Amino acid sequence: MRTPIVAANWKMHKTIREAVDLTRDVRRALLDVQGIEVVLCPPFTALSAVRDTLGGSWIQLGAQNMHFEEQGAFTGEISPLMVAELCQYVILGHSERRQYFGETDEGVNKKTKAALAHGLIPIVCVGENLEQNRAGQTSAVVGGQVRAAFQGLSRQEAARVIIAYEPVWAIGTGIPAEPADVNRIIGVSIRGVLAELYDEETAQAIRVQYGGSVKPDNMADFARQPEIDGALVGGASLKADSFAAIVKATLV
Ligand code: PGA
């Protein structure tokens, strides 16, 4: 049995003060919840304050990106060493990073290795865009991104990675994918590829989230699908009540 995991991707939202308030409210709203992992991913500037606010809570902390080098002349970048000082998780290869900041499959692979080497759990994002979806390339694109991200990872390393399947056309659009379609794509194009790269046991052990316009009223339909192990939530994670409702809907 895979433990479900729901992560909040706050993207470029929340000042330190706002992040602390939201964290406090999320913490309160999830006090009696069990049987699930929850990760908050604030912007870098708020990581330290959110960590302090979470002190003693079961809720975990993640960054939204990082460089793969430990240190050096990379102005504006944050290293795995620095992220690992504060966080347990790191989101890698989000489609917005691929689209606006030139992230490549190769870079995502380097970052995935660096995260694992520093004891971080990477949440590796994959997903096709609208054009690729319409051209019937979903399986090839998603499978290719998975193959690239896992290149050179041992079975033990691979088993620690979390994958977020996020169709680009569903992110921030209010148009989620069909739960049954997501289930099929994860089964065939993600677990199928992982079984080829490793073995069936490893493919079944790796947790795969869905992301893209997840809301309190659609989460249960995703959570009921056997291949979906939780969600990566953007917009609906910016309010404590909607995020808490999504976490709870994952458990029904
Ligand atoms: P969304 O974003 O929930 O706002 O669609 C999801 C994501 O980008 O991770």
Q: Who's near 104: CB < 8 A, 6+ residues apart? A: 98
* pLDDT confidence band for 81 (50 / 70 / 90): very high
The pLDDT-based confidence of 222 (bands split at 50, 70, 90) is very high
pLDDT of residue 1: 84
Would you place residue 17 in the very low, low, confident or very high pLDDT band (cuts 50, 70, 90)?
very high
Residue of 37, 96, 128, 166 marked catalytic:
166
Q: Is 96 known to be catalytic? A: no
Contact (Cβ atoms closer than 8 angstroms) between residue 62 and residue 9: no
Q: Which residues contact 145 (CB under 8 A, 6 or more apart)?
A: 93, 105, 108, 126, 127
Q: What percent of the chain has pLDDT over 90?
A: 99
Ligand 1 atom having least distance to the Cα of 91: 9
What is the predicted pLDDT for the residue at 210? 98
Catalytic residue status for 201: no
The answer on pLDDT for 109 being more than 90 is: yes
Sign of CA dihedral 57, 209, 43, 145: positive
> Could you give the domains of the chain?
5-249 (3.20.20.70)
Return the pLDDT at 44: 98
Per-residue pLDDT averaged across 169-184, rounded?
Answer: 98
Average pLDDT, stretch 216-233?
98
pLDDT of residue 117: 98
Q: In what helix (H) or strand (E) does residue 38 lie, and over which residues does it extend?
A: strand 37-41
CB half-sphere exposure, 172, CA atoms < 13 A: 10
Asked if 58 and 28 count as a contact pair (C-beta separation under 8 A), the reply is: no
Q: Which residues are near ligand 1 (CB < 6 Å)?
A: 9, 166, 171-172, 211-214, 232-236
Please tell me the predicted confidence (pLDDT) of residue 252: 80
240, two tokens: 């404590």
From the CA of 232, how far away is ligand 1's center (Å)? 7
Instruction: Write down the pLDDT at residue 178.
Output: 98
Closest atom of ligand 1 relative to the 96 alpha carbon = 8
